[in-house]
Amino acid sequence: MDVIFGNLDLWGTAIKNTLLVFFGGGVLALVLGVIVGAMRVSPVPIARGVGTLYVTLIRNTPLTLVFFFFVLGYPALGLPKLSTLLLGILAIGIYTATYVAEVLRAGINTVPVGQAEAARAIGLPFGQVMSLVVLPQAFRSVVPPMMSVFIALLKNTTVAAGFSVAELAALRATINDAAGRPGSPMEVLLWVALVFVVLVMFLSLVQHRLEKKWRIVR
């Protein structure tokens, strides 16, 4: 337990940054993923093309390279300076949005076409058809795969440790570099793994609650 209580300040910072990257990246991925997912099924060819290009380009690029672009390439473009934490959130959010979009597109395809056609028949534009009729049903049908995407996002936050973001995966090096800090590398890694297991179990509980709630609503 000395690994924990002898490094409470480092653990606090690491857990806080991990959660910031997770929640910040998750919100960005969800918002952008909904937009891109809607574009993928849009009746407008240009919108479908842009959505397809975005998903194909970003999803087939390794996450590490996406981080390299934001953390190392972004400052070289002369754009406003951002912290490495914020750049990490942008990188993981934009990357994960492609998976959110594809999961959501699959959910949209499960909604009977007749419902969208009926909504258009009463004069609703595409945006209202999606937001009022299609997306609410699509979200209910994709809870398990969507939560799998967010669990993968949580585990992908460890990539940020290689780009100077002081999160959980960086604790091993941080504690070992600090003089007088208790804990061997293996001990630190085991505790980090345990923290991730607890967080994943919490996300699984959230998934179970959502499935149960929306099953009743149906």
State the CB neighbour count (10 A cutoff) for residue 198: 9
Helix (H, G, I), strand (E, B) or coil at 13: helix
pLDDT value of residue 76:
78
pLDDT value of residue 1:
60
pLDDT value of residue 207:
86
Positions of the chain with pLDDT lower than 50, given as ranges = 216-218
Q: Which residue has the tokens 């000395």?
A: 2
* pTM for the predicted model, two decimal places: 0.83
Report the distance separating Cα 207 and Cα 143, nearest Å: 7
pLDDT value of residue 216:
46
Buried b (16+ CB within 10 A) or exposed e, 20-36: bbbebbbebbbebbbbb
pLDDT value of residue 218:
46
Report the distance separating Cα 160 and Cα 100, nearest Å: 20
Q: Which residue has the tokens 């534009």?
A: 125
92-125 pLDDT, tens per residue? 999 999 999 999 888 888 888 788 788 888 888 8
State the CB neighbour count (10 A cutoff) for residue 186: 9
Vertex 98, ends 95 and 100: CA angle to 5°?
110
